[in-house]
Amino acid sequence: MAGRGCGCGSGHLNEDNARFLLLAALIVLYLLGGAAVFSALELAHELQAIQRWEERLANFSRRHNLSRDELRGFLRHYEEAAKAGIRVDNTRQRWDFTGAFYFVGTVVSTIGFGMTTPATVGGKTFLILYGLIGCASTILFFNLFLERLITVIAYIMKSCHQQQLRSQRALPQEGLKNLGKHEADGLAGWKPSVYYVMLILCVASVLISCCASAMYTSIEGWSYFDSLYFCFVAFSTIGFGDLVSSQNSQYKSQGLYRFANFAFILMGVCCIYSLFNVISILIKQSMNWMLRKMDGGCCQQCHSGLTRSRRNVIMPGNVQNRCNISIETDGVMESDTDGRRPSGEMISMKDFLAANKVSLAILQKQLSETANGCPHQTSTLSRDNEFSGGVGAFAIMNNRLAETSGDR
């Protein structure tokens, strides 16, 4: 890949930086595309809503003999009341203990519906300190949940794979005594595929969302589609706040409903968080494929250019580019030159050292590590830095799924 394949220039990027820049460019394109789609879908509806509101405002002003300025001033007072949680319909208190508990749950889970916000300076100051620790702790909880979930899924899938191996070797009687050895050989290095894990998480997320939507439809009075929409917005911690559960003052079986609401949101957030991280692996694989294609085209152009330049002499710079040098992997592929020019004459020592200076630098590094008592690392380990296992959820899933074993 970039930075590991051909040396098409002294300023080429390494693989991680190339992947980062490619992802940033793809996200920008994704944002531009999303903005275009949502603008096409929602702009006309917004303009119609503005027109209807202006007509209603004008009719109300004429009917009650009020000026526009007086009416708008009154509406601004209502907007201030709405920020404090006051609604036209009868709603629950926002800052009793149960309402405050619901609020801190949306804070630490990073959902942040926005229907309740602190209004005092003390409340805003405490929110900054409280959210700093609470959000970090909740992210740690989600990562630990992901680790255990991947472990359980891997154990179940490995058991199914082991049972499949047993059924395949159950027919020949002479092979029963070697069954344990064959199972060990078949399970050695086996890991679950990220595609099966993603399918399991998708099914679990859909089941939780469907069950929660049925509950919200019957209790909150929303349509089933709006309930599904709320589930995704809440479980993915987007939290727009246009629909918020458990906000009325009274419900049938209120205690049971609030507990079920808390349980569904907790399970949904954990499953969707895990699903997002698994999908990110597939996105990373797609970017690796794109980088390989881009790097392959670069190598072909570099190879054709070098072939044209090698007529009578070998320049040290060309030899270096032909050596497929990678500092990160501590490996240099041998050039097609063996210290001779194409004409058969020996090259000078100066040119030879210039063409092989990277190999000498690696040799000096290995000798230094041996002299200091540090064993030389393998090519795979030497190119890993302190973040070789990934960060956060990537570190948890690294080498636990089949598709993450050979690629970070």
What phi and psi values does residue 373 have, to the nearest 5 degrees? 85, 10
From the centroid of its chain, how far is CA 341? 51
Radius of gyration over every alpha carbon of the chain, rounded to an integer in angstroms: 31
pLDDT in the model for residue 354: 59
How far apart CA 139 and CA 325 sit, in angstroms, is: 40
Q: Supply 243's token pair.
A: 């629909």
> For the chain, which ranges sit under pLDDT 70?
1-12, 90, 169-189, 298-400, 402-408
Angle between helices 15-63 and 254-309 (to 10 degrees): 140
| pLDDT single digits (tens) 100-135 | 999 999 999 999 988 888 989 999 999 999 999 999
pLDDT in the model for residue 408: 46
Tokens 């609030």 -> residue: 258
pLDDT in the model for residue 167: 81
Cβ-based burial of 402 (10 A; exposed 0-12, middle 13-18, buried ≥19)? middle
